[in-house]
Amino acid sequence: MSFLRAFKYRRKDTVVHRLDPRSKFMLSIVLMAISVVFTDIRVLLALVSGQLILLFLAESLREWFSSLRGLVFFFAVIFATQLLFGGSFFTGVVLSLRLLALSSSMSWFFLSSTPEDIGRAMSVAGFPVELTFSFTMAIRFIPVIYDEFQSIYDTQRSRGLELEKGGFRNRIRNLMPILIPLLVGTIRRTYEIADAMEVRAFGASPKRTTYRPLRLKGGDYLLFAASIILVSAAACLKLLGVE
Amino acid sequence: MVKIVVENLYYRYPEALDYALKNISFRIEEGESVAILGENGAGKTTLAKNLNGLLKPTEGSVKIDGVDTRSLSVAKIARKIGFVNHNPEHQFFAEKVEDEVRFGLRNFGFSEKEADKIIQEVLSVFGLEEYRGRNPFQLSGGEKKRLAIASIMAWRPEALIVDEPTIGMDYAQKLNIRRVLRSIVSEGRCVIVITHDVDFAASICERAIVLSRGEVIGDGRLRDLLSDDKLVEKSSLRKPFLIELEEETGLTGLEEDFDAISSILMEVFQKCRS
């Protein structure tokens, strides 16, 4: 699960963190599309290098590098599949590089944008507020549920539960003492949050105001321009026959 | 009976910059009742988890009967040192109260016949007999806590660590939990209570270990430690009610009459409620 660290927001005051989530999201989508469309190793290398610069500016290189350990498994699967089904080592390198470019294109965005920012950007884009709020809450509660999972796991281990003991079926059965309290706790919390939102008049007024409205600044326009230039460059490269 | 020796214990959570526990050393002898006190974030629960092997020391050692916890599985330690989580709902998953108690017994290899006998005894001792077939989630807060302790005490560990036993409980429920823990102490078992509730701690434990910012700032007789104004202030605690009462009135020996005073307070409390 360590590769998920590359997608967890870290509070920092950097030029990338201060950018509007809409411009960051636009550039992320463009970078992602390019990494899907091209298989040329030079293009992929250039993409990863560009993303490394963005991660450097976001002071998030450490998180990105530590998440690479989690990707090693996927790289191994790619190489194994290539070697087993008649592919080449070079294709394995290209596909691994593509996976790296693909995950990095979203990584710098999530590392530098709060769930609230992402929710606000979705609202501005016209998504219904119930949907954006649920999305924001879901992201915010991942660490809470993880902590609860850890506490339940510790409690059951203190009662002699050994997850690693027994065969496959036994191990699955052993998960029940962890999953049931987690599920019950999560459902209860859902009701409590719904009540807490209702008593604070969530959904009472159809027109909502925003405490911190999103505003595009100079850096955001630069990002939009970069996105357009990248799309144009990608189209030109395709026309020139670059794979 | 179990003996716990902690030597120069340092613990740091993965990815944390600072140590949660720093240079902690103490011994807990068999049959002792110890309160671990301190402000929020002082490291009380982290220390407890180091004592029962859920966390292994970053530096230093924790030894249970002379064996380093690093070389023991959590299950092996749990057989000797039971741990009750602050939130009893974190352990409930069975449909019935009796099955909740049976879970630990099965894990530790008790036969079904032995388990049936123990469940009967334990539910009776903890006053939960009438709820035997009920869903644990339908119990009251105090009953849940008692069930959590009962399901650990079922396999008769030599020591019991209870994390925040009085959270969210009214006075009557606290008295019930106190009765249960005092009966465990009277059996000669070691009880370690982690709490902010100084009155509760004072009613059960002889000794206290006071933590502040991951360090031990006091270790000794609970009454002496909590009479020390500076230590009480530094650890964001307060003096137990009986010590305050003694200081205010000049009376002494109220501690010995704790039960009598508790009953009077209980009566007053119930009159106020009605």
Digit-by-digit pLDDT tens for chain B (274 residues) are: 678 999 999 999 987 889 999 999 999 998 899 999 999 889 999 999 999 999 999 999 999 999 999 999 999 999 999 999 999 999 999 999 999 999 999 999 999 999 999 999 999 988 899 999 999 999 998 899 999 999 999 999 999 999 999 888 888 888 888 888 999 999 989 999 999 889 899 889 999 999 999 999 999 999 889 888 899 888 888 888 777 777 777 777 666 666 666 666 667 766 776 6
* Structure tokens belonging to residue B123: 């539910």
Per-residue confidence (pLDDT) for residue B263, from 0 to 100: 66
Option in B52, B93, B137 nearest A158 (CB): B52
The pLDDT, as a whole number, for residue A163 is 81
Q: Whole-angstrom Cα distance, residue B118 to residue A39?
A: 67
* DSSP code at position B129: G
Edge-to-edge strand order for the sheet containing B159-163? B81-84, B159-163, B190-194, B33-38, B207-212, B215-221
Contact A65, A78 (CB under 8 A): no
Beta pairing class for B190-194 and B159-163: parallel
What CA–CA distance (Å, rounded) separates A30 from A231? 7
Q: Measured between CB atoms, which of B54, B87, B104 is closest to A160?
A: B104
Cβ-count burial of A137 within 10 angstroms (0-12 exposed, 13-18 middle, 19+ buried)?
Answer: middle
The backbone torsions φ and ψ at residue A51, rounded to the nearest 5 degrees and listed phi first, read -70, -35
The SS3 assignment for B4 reads strand
Amino acid at B141: G
CB atoms closer than 10 angstroms to residue B83: 26
Give the minimum alpha-carbon distance from A79 to chain B in angstroms, rounded to a whole number.
31
Does ipTM top 0.95?
no
Mean pLDDT, all residues of chain A: 87
| Structure letter (DSSP) for residue B57 | -
> Residue A62: what are its φ and ψ, rounded to 5°?
-60, -45
Q: A53-74 as b/e, with b when 16 or more CB fall inside 10 Å?
A: ebbebbbbeebbeebbeebeee
Say if residues A137 and A202 touch (Cβ distance below 8 Å): no
What was the pLDDT predicted at A228? 95
Task: Pick the residue from chain B with its C-alpha nearest to A151.
Answer: B90
Contact B54 A177 (CB under 8 A): no
Contact B103 A151 (CB under 8 A): no
Q: What is the pLDDT of residue B255?
A: 64
Identify all chain B residues contacting A180, using CB atoms and an 8 Å cutoff: 92-93
Q: By C-alpha distance, which of A135, A136, A138 is closest to A186?
A: A138
Q: Name the residue type at position A129.
A: V
Amino acid A2: pLDDT: 57
Q: What is the DSSP letter of B31?
A: T
Measured CA to CA, the distance from residue B207 to residue B36 in angstroms comes to: 9
> Using CA of residue B193, residue B189, residue B182, residue A148, what is the dihedral sign?
positive
- Chain B contact set for A177 (CB, 8 A): 91, 93, 103
Mean pLDDT value of segment A144-158:
91
Q: Are B11 and B55 in contact (CB under 8 A)?
A: yes
- Residue B188, amino acid: G
Say which amino acid occupies A190: T
Q: Do B92 and A181 touch (CB under 8 A)?
A: yes
B157 touches chain A (CB under 8 A): no
**Rounded mean pLDDT of A113-119?**
85
CA of A180 vs chain B CAs: smallest distance (Å): 5
Taken as a whole, chain A contains a residue count of 243
- What strand order describes the sheet that includes B59-64? B21-28, B4-11, B59-64, B67-68
In the block, tokens 């402000």 appear at B39
Is the predicted pLDDT of residue A4 greater than 70, yes or no?
no
Q: Specify which residues B28 forms β-bridges with.
A: B4
Weakest-pLDDT range from A11-20, A68-77, B9-18, B143-152: A68-77
- Taking the CA atoms of residue B38, residue B43, residue B46 and residue B50 in that order, the dihedral angle to the nearest 10 degrees is -80
Torsion angle in degrees (nearest 10) through CA of B201, B204, B209, B213? -20
pTM (predicted TM-score): 0.76
Q: A192: part of which helix (H) or strand (E)?
A: helix A168-198
Type and span of the H or E element at B190 = strand B190-194
Residues near A35 by Cβ (< 8 Å), separated by ≥ 6?
Answer: A44, A47, A98, A101, A102, A105
| 8 Å CB contact between B160 and B152 | yes
Nearest neighbour of A158 by CB, restricted to B83, B87, B92: B83
Tell me the two tokens of residue B9: 């214990």
User: How confident is the model at residue A3, as a pLDDT?
Assistant: 60
Which distant-in-sequence residues (6+ apart) come within 8 Å of A99 by Cβ? A71, A74, A75, A78
